[in-house]
């Protein structure tokens, strides 16, 4: 009986690992502007080409220096990260591409590909396209019902019981004095209510975050994914600083004021 139980637990563990490493669980990929083997950003145009090839496979792709959508902020385990290993020799250009999760686990790895094209730019690009053909063989299709690797919470800041993503029945006419902000391609409304600021998304239908006064000119920023400190700069932009525990660094994002 004990042996049978151990076998069942081992099987469940293997199934769990298989689900965690399922490529279809990931919608996003982050591409660095400079891989380890490159001497300058986007050398041989490999980085931008990688972005194009990943998009052709169906991923949503962002460069590591690019502004990302709100749903990725504070969740460093939501995307995969592209890595390219240069295994070139004296007479050939060789590459291996990998997609890794936030814990450095390899979710996908191509076979080593080689080309004897002597010109570096043409050779590296040809090898990269050949390596991506192995990704095409995976027939990637994002499945929102699958879960990527779990992520750690960013901070232990306590949220208010009101919650930050509850839907509320509001309309533009209800808040004529709202201020409009942009971030990550999304539009947000900032309103003042009950001696605090509320940041609304989805045309005012979702209470995205709350800002409570902490000190003169600074606020406590509470949302579902980001909790930290906020302040308004001279141009009225809303700047939010928070600790990303996965990266071990303080991150800053800016909601740009439109009106």
| Percentage above 90 pLDDT, the chain | 46
Q: Are residues 64 and 122 in the same domain?
A: yes
Global pTM reads 0.58
| Percentage above 70 pLDDT, the chain | 80
Looking at the domain assignment, is residue 252 inside a domain? yes
Looking at the domain assignment, is residue 6 inside a domain? no
Q: Are residues 125 and 213 in the same domain?
A: no
Residue pair 125/45 in contact (Cβ under 8 Å)? The answer is yes
Residue-level pLDDT at 108: 95
What does the chain come to in residues? 259
Q: Are residues 84 and 30 in the same domain?
A: yes
Looking at the domain assignment, is residue 117 inside a domain? yes
Residue-level pLDDT at 59: 95
DSSP classification of residue 71: G
Looking at the domain assignment, is residue 150 inside a domain? no
The predicted-structure confidence for 80-103, as pLDDT tens digits, reads as follows 999 999 999 888 999 999 999 988
Domains of the chain: total? 2
> Where residue 95 sits, what CATH number does that domain have?
3.40.50.10070
Looking at the domain assignment, is residue 100 inside a domain? yes
Q: Which residue has the tokens 């998304």?
A: 201
Encode burial over 79-102: b for 16+ CB neighbours within 10 A, e otherwise. Answer: bbbbbbbeebeeeebbbbbbbebb
Q: Are residues 124 and 194 in the same domain?
A: no
Query: Long-range CB contacts (< 8 A, 24+ apart) of 118-127?
Result: 120/44, 120/93, 121/44, 121/45, 123/93, 124/44, 124/46, 124/93, 124/95, 125/44, 125/45, 125/46, 125/49, 126/93, 127/93, 127/94, 127/95
Looking at 110, 136, 162, the residue that finishes a domain is: 136
As a whole number, mean pLDDT of residues 69-77 equals: 73
pLDDT exceeds cutoff 50 at 180: yes
Looking at the domain assignment, is residue 205 inside a domain? yes
Looking at the domain assignment, is residue 13 inside a domain? no
- For the ranges 49-58, 126-135, 248-257, which has the lowest average pLDDT? 248-257
Q: pLDDT-derived band of residue 137, with 50, 70 and 90 as boundaries?
A: very high
- Domain that residue 42 falls in: 22-136
């Amino acid at each position: 009986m004990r042996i049978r139980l151990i076998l069942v637990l081992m099987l469940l563990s293997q199934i769990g690992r298989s689900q965690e490493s399922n490529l279809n669980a990931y919608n996003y990929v982050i591409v660095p502007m400079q891989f380890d083997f490159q001497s300058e950003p986007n050398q041989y145009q490999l980085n931008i080409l990688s972005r194009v090839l990943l998009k052709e496979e169906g991923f949503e792709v962002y460069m590591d220096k690019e502004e990302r959508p709100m749903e990725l902020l504070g969740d460093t385990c939501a995307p995969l990260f592209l890595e390219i290993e240069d295994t070139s020799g004296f007479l050939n250009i060789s590459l291996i591409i990998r997609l890794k999760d936030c814990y450095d686990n390899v979710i996908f790895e191509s076979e080593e590909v080689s080309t004897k094209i002597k010109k570096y730019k043409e050779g590296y690009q040809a090898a990269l396209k050949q390596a991506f053909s192995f990704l095409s063989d995976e027939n990637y299709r994002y499945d929102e019902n699958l879960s990527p690797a779990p992520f750690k919470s960013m901070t232990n800041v306590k949220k208010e019981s009101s919650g930050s993503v509850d839907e509320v029945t509001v309309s533009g006419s209800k808040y004529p004095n709202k201020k409009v902000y942009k971030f990550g391609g999304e539009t947000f409304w900032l309103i003042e209510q009950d001696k605090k600021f509320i940041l609304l998304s989805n045309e005012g239908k979702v209470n995205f975050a709350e800002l409570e006064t902490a000190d003169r000119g600074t606020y406590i920023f509470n949302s579902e994914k980001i909790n930290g400190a906020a302040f308004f700069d001279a141009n009225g932009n809303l700047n939010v600083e928070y600790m990303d525990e996965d990266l071990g660094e303080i991150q800053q994002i800016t909601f740009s004021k439109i009106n």
